[in-house]
């Protein structure tokens, strides 16, 4: 069991205070470093992004915007209107642009869908990403469908469908793969759910982590985005922050039926993007960039698999099955999650997420993201040492 020294306990108090003032999200590494002098972060395994994809984007950014002076245009002028940027996305995902709204991050689209199209009740699988219950209209009731650790947080499709029908659920949300556990619903199962629940108002599927998931050794990804033209109640939410490693420029989108798209754009989302976001989506629609991205996507998935194996070899923790770029980890030797997070941060400069604020989790849980190959090795080495070199 890991224990904190007196000095560490004092800093940990500050850390916990900062965390509780950040609501249901973790304070960023910049906030931590600014507020607590003693903290030096070298690896951010709290944020869930592919660092290699950030590198690819930065190369283009430097070559095409910085070195040419075109960055000025991005900053000085208005970006294009929503439906123009949607055309880029349309080309990539093969969904007609009338079904697409571009968001200033996916979070903006989650907020607007919940506020404008979701009423009465919504079924949310727990553990979950908190925005799906925090942004609900006050008159909408959140109902929870518990994914159990005894079941490795797997969704039992038949039980789920039965529950939805029996409880007169109007709206559902499925994050696939799920955050924070990484649980994945295979494409065929999703199809069963979608086609069995046509009477619902909304089937929201958040595919923010789908680029990290795979169903075979070929590692190809499977999206349900192109089903929106067949299912009027289907709403796909997609963030680009994690798979492209560009959270700072706020890129996301939503795919849903045409009436909802035009209503949303008329309601104030005509100019919600930024010059940099537009640059990203234009870049994303280019074959050359996509090919480079695909290389680093696959590389990152393979390295994540190695990382997960490394974590699984540590006897004091249980790593739950994941198809995302992170793992939900349970501390099984009596160590508190807050102690583990503080120790790893103060001793090794490694930041992981304490999951004690996640509803539906019973036990001591942390979420650890996969980073670069070298960083992943450093994370595993550090965790192993924490458990073996016990300090009094
Ligand atoms: C991070 C996250 C988002 C928000 O993404 P942004 O595009 O950065 O706003 C949405 N859904 C899930 C499940 C996430 O983990």
Beta-sheet pairing, 234-239 with 202-206: parallel
Q: Write the pLDDT tens digit of every residue in 205-233.
A: 999 999 999 999 999 999 999 999 999 99
Which tokens belong to 180? 């924070």
132 by DSSP, 3-state: which?
Answer: helix
Query: Ligand 1 center to residue 173 CA distance, Å?
Result: 14
pLDDT tens profile 61-90: 999 999 999 999 999 999 999 999 999 999
Torsion of CA 96, 98, 103, 108, to 10 degrees: -120
Residue 390: which pLDDT band, with cuts at 50, 70 and 90? low
More confident residue, 14 or 256: 256
Q: Is 175 in the pocket of ligand 1 (CB under 6 A)?
A: yes
Residue range 12-34, pLDDT digits in tens: 998 888 888 888 888 888 888 88
178 lines ligand 1 (CB under 6 A): no
pLDDT category at 259 given cuts 50, 70, 90 is very high
List, for residues 111-144, the tens digit of each pLDDT value: 999 999 999 999 999 999 999 999 999 999 999 9
Distance CA 249, CA 280 (A): 9
Measure 166 CA to ligand 1 centroid, in angstroms.
30
The answer on pLDDT for 188 being more than 80 is yes
Least confident stretch, 12-16, 172-176, 311-315: 12-16
Q: Which atom of ligand 1 is closest in space to residue 252's alpha carbon? A: 7
Neighbours of 151 (CB within 10 A): 11
Cα-to-centroid distance, 196 and ligand 1 (Å): 27
Q: Which atom of ligand 1 is nearest to the CA of 110?
A: 10
Report pLDDT for 193. Answer: 98
Nearest atom (ligand 1) to Cα of 251: 7
Other C-beta atoms closer than 10 Å to the C-beta of 88 total: 21
Nearest CA, atom 11, ligand 1: 208
From 129, 132, 249, 325, give the residue whose CB has the most ligand 1 atoms within 8 Å, as the site to mutate.
Answer: 129
| Crossing angle (nearest 10°) for helices 187-196 and 157-166 | 20
- The pLDDT of residue 261 is 97
User: CB of 247 closer than 6 A to ligand 1?
Assistant: yes
Share of the chain above pLDDT 90, in %: 89
DSSP E strands in the chain: the ranges are 43-44, 100-104, 121-126, 141-146, 171-175, 202-206, 234-239, 251-255, 317-319, 326-331, 350-351, 353-354, 365-369
The DSSP output letter for 65 is: I
- Of 212, 174, 187, the residue nearest 324 (C-alpha): 212
What CA–CA distance (Å, rounded) separates 380 from 332? 16
Say if residue 236 is exposed, middle or buried (CB neighbours under 10 Å; 0-12, 13-18, 19+): buried
Q: How far is the CA of 154 from the centre of ligand 1 (A)?
A: 21
Ligand 1 atom with the shortest distance to the CA of 239: 7
Give the position, in ligand 1's atom list, of the atom nearest the Cα of 108: 9
Atom of ligand 1 nearest to the CA of 103: 7
CA angle 246/71/295 to nearest 5° reads 40
- Per-residue pLDDT, 198: 97
Tell me the CA–centroid distance for residue 207 and ligand 1, in Å: 9
Here the tokens at position 206 are 């958040």
pLDDT of 157 > 80? The answer is yes
Of 256, 134, 273, 276, the residue nearest 206 (C-alpha): 256
Using CA atoms, how far apart are residues 173 and 120, in angstroms rounded to an integer? 14
Extract the tokens encoding 357.
Answer: 């604020």
Q: Give residue 309's pLDDT.
A: 98
Checking if the pLDDT of 392 tops 50, the result is: no
Percent of the chain scoring above 70 in pLDDT: 99
Output the average pLDDT for the chain.
95
């Amino acid at each position: 069991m890991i224990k904190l020294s007196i000095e560490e306990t004092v800093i940990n108090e500050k850390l916990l205070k900062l965390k509780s003032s950040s609501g249901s999200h973790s304070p960023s590494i910049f906030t931590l470093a600014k507020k607590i002098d003693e903290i030096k972060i070298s690896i951010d395994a709290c944020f869930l992004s592919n660092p290699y994809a950030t590198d690819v984007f930065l190369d283009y950014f430097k070559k095409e915007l910085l070195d040419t002076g075109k960055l000025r245009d991005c900053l000085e002028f208005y970006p294009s209107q929503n439906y123009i940027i949607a055309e880029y996305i349309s080309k990539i995902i093969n969904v007609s642009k009338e079904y697409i709204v571009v968001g200033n991050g996916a979070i903006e689209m989650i907020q607007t869908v919940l506020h404008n199209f979701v009423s009465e009740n919504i079924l949310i699988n727990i553990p979950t990403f908190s925005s799906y219950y925090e942004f609900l209209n006050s008159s909408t009731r959140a109902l929870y469908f518990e994914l159990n650790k005894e079941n490795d947080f797997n969704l039992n499709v038949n039980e789920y469908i039965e529950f939805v029908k029996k409880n007169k659920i109007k709206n559902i949300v499925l994050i696939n793969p799920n955050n924070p556990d990484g649980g994945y619903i295979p494409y065929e199962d999703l199809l069963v759910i979608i086609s069995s629940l046509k009477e619902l108002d909304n089937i929201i599927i958040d595919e923010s982590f789908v680029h990290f998931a795979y169903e075979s050794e070929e590692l190809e990804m499977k999206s349900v985005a192109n089903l929106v033209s067949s299912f009027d109640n289907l709403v796909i939410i997609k963030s680009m922050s994690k798979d492209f490693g560009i959270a700072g420029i706020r890129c996301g989108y939503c795919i849903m039926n045409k009436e909802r798209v035009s209503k949303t754009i008329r309601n104030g989302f005509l100019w919600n993007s930024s010059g940099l976001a537009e640059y990203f989506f234009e870049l994303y629609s280019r074959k050359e960039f996509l090919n480079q991205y695909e290389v680093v996507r696959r590389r990152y998935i393979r390295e994540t698999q190695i990382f997960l194996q490394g974590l699984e070899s540590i006897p004091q923790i249980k790593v739950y099955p994941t198809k995302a770029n992170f793992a939900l980890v349970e501390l099984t030797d009596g160590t508190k999650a807050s102690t583990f997070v503080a120790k790893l941060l103060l001793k090794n400069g490694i930041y992981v997420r304490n999951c004690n604020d996640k509803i539906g989790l019973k036990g001591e849980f942390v979420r650890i993201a996969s980073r670069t190959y070298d960083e992943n090795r450093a994370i595993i080495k550090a965790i192993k040492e924490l458990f073996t070199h016990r300090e009094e």
